[in-house]
Each structure stands twice: as C-alpha cells, then as structure tokens.
Amino acid sequence: TAWNNFQALLNFLDKYPAYKYRSLYIAGESYAGVYVPTLALHVIQEKSAFRLQGIIVGNPMTNYVLNENSGFYNLYYHGFLSDENWDNLVQLCCPDQFEQHCMFTLNNSLGCKMAFQFIYDNLAVNINPYNPYQNCVDGITKLKPATNATPLITKTWKPLIGGQSAYTQLFTEKLSFPVASETEDSVYEKCPSQKSVCSGGSFIHEYLNLPEVQRALHVDKHSIKCWNSCNSKVFSDYVRQYGDMAWAYTQVLSCQVPVMLYSGDLDLVINSMGTRWFVKTLQLETIVPLRSWRYSISNGEEQLGGFYQTFMQNNTPLSYVTLRAAGHNAARDQPIAAFHLITQFVNGGELK
C-alpha cells in the first residue's frame, strides 16, 4: 500500500510539476497508523521532489498487542465490564503482574480463556464501538445469533499477526462490526441485507448494491456483485505484515519529520490508552507533560479540546493528543476542535 501510494504521488507530480518541492503533509486515520509512516519513509528517500513537513494520524493502529490489551482496560473504565468479570480476567490472566499492563491475549491458559468467555457471554451488545456514546443512526437492530459461533475456550487464540485474536473476535461477533448479515433476502437482486447492530452501515450497503450504482462504478458484471463493508473471510484470513510500528515512527523522527498522533477518547476500536502505551515504548524525551488544550467556537467561547503531551527525538517532536468526546472518526465527531488541532500542527504552533 505504501509503495502504491508513493507511485501515485510521483505520477501526480509528473502531471502537475508545479507542485514539486512544495511543503507536504501526509495524514490519515485508523489503519493509516501503518501505511502513513511507511509511505513517509518512501517520500523521505525521494528528496528531489518532496519537502515532507510532518505526518498526522488519527486513532492510529500502531501496535496490535498494546491496542488489544489496553482495550480491555478501556471497556472496564467505560463501564462495559462488571467488577466480577474484570477481577476474574486480571486474576486468571495476569496473577503475578501489576494489573495496569496485563497482556491478556498472550495467556493461553484455560483459566484465562474461561475468564474471557464470561466477558464474551455477558458483554452488552447494541454498542457502536467507534463511538459508544452516540445514538444508533437507524436504531438498534437485533442480530440473529451466529450459527457457527464456537466457545472461545475450545479455541487456541490466534496470533496477533496473521489472524484474529480473541479481542478482535469479541468485536466482530458481539459489538456490531458489520461482518454479520441477516439471511433474509434483500430487495436488491441476490444480495442479503446487512444489518449492523449500531453502526449505521446498512445505508451504504444498500446503496452500493444498487445495480445502477454498480454500473456507474464499472463493477465487472461477471464478478460477485454483493458489496459488504467488511468481508468476513478477508477480515479473518488477512495476513498482517506489521504488528508493531515503533521502527517506522522512530525512523521518521530520526529524519526530523514531526509526528502527531491524535485519538478520540471514546473510541473502543483503537483506543487512546493503547496509543499512549505505544508512545511510551518509543522511550522519547518528554518536553511537555500531559496538559489540557483549548479551542474557540464560533461565538468566541473557549472549550476544552482534550489533552496533549509532547515528546522529542533528534530535536524533532512527536505529539500525543486526545480529542474530548470524539470516537474513532474523531474529526467527524469534533470537526472544530480537529480543525484547530491540525491547523496548529501545520502552522508549527503549540496547543494551549
């Protein structure tokens, strides 16, 4: 992906050479935590055409182990796990460790699996994991139970690289990732209707399965025509090449390219705590300790935007920032705050 994006940039400059040598910022969100820094490293090597000034990633996937295990803490601290289930999980998965950084998914003992099974069985559904405090766009949809669901304690937890872990399975089967669909026939040809529990994905599913839309998109008429927002086979079989992106961010900083990682503090999918754990593993010098930042709304009032902390490597800053009351799509949930955040970064200003 990084190489393809890099070739697209080169092709763009061939067509529009006036943009050569101009300041360039690369930004993305979610899995861009992987493909933004890897693209940046290609761009850095091509010094003759680009002036890379910084990279920005929102709710970034940076380390699978840290994200998934911090996710349990995030669920508990947001009130989605009972004290009993949480205590069992910690005691059975990390009996001899300080519970702040328990790596639950690395424990394959029967007791740990059983503790996870209790959570799996009792966790509340009808939650939008991208922003659990938003109302469901088109109401709550009750999904039919999966017919092929296998108790977790009978499985070996898949490795984090190359397959789903138990935490990922929790989200796909319990928390409305749109990989499940109803068996009832859709009104559009042979495509079954997709009913996400609370993510509002059914609208785009129906739209992209309209025959006239597929014709406009030049979908091969001989191919499988049913579009799904998350193909369950691809999702489960996809082999992840990188599990820890520390090497990439360290290289970007060593080339004196500033980095900003921001997170909506309500996201359950790639949570802000996991990003903070990841930044800590980089062992950077702290320049600005954790503090709040503000922004102005239309009437001039100042509002709390979130919190930020600034680190330094090779005289180059990495900023860890949270956006208050924002989910996975943080800029959509808090557009004014996000605009202020990104503007300050691009202009070289400081959050205050």
- Please give the average per-residue pLDDT across 322-341, as a whole number: 96
Contact criterion met (CB below 8 Å) for 239 and 159: no
pLDDT number for residue 181: 43
Q: Taking all residues of the chain, what is their mean pLDDT, rounded to a whole number?
A: 83
- Cβ atoms of 169 and 161 within 8 Å: the answer is no
Determine the pLDDT at residue 154: 44
CB atoms within 10 A of CB 331: 20
State yes or no: pLDDT of 110 exceeds 80.
yes
Q: What is the structure's pLDDT at 112? A: 87
**Rounded CA Rg of the chain:** 22
Structure confidence by residue, pLDDT tens digits, 256-278: 999 999 999 999 999 999 999 99
Least confidently predicted of 14-23, 131-140, 228-237? 228-237
Residue 234's pLDDT band (boundaries 50, 70, 90)?
A: confident
Token match 């026939």: residue? 185
For 288, residues 6+ apart whose C-beta sits below 8 A from its C-beta are: 308, 309, 310
Q: Which residue has the higher pLDDT, 123 or 108?
A: 108
Q: What number is the average pLDDT over the span 75-80?
A: 90
Q: Name 214's Cβ contacts closer than 8 Å, sequence gap at least 6.
A: 208, 225, 227
- With contact defined as beta carbons under 8 Å apart, do 322 and 304 qualify? no
Residue 257's CB is within 10 A of a number of other CB atoms, namely 22
pTM, full prediction: 0.86
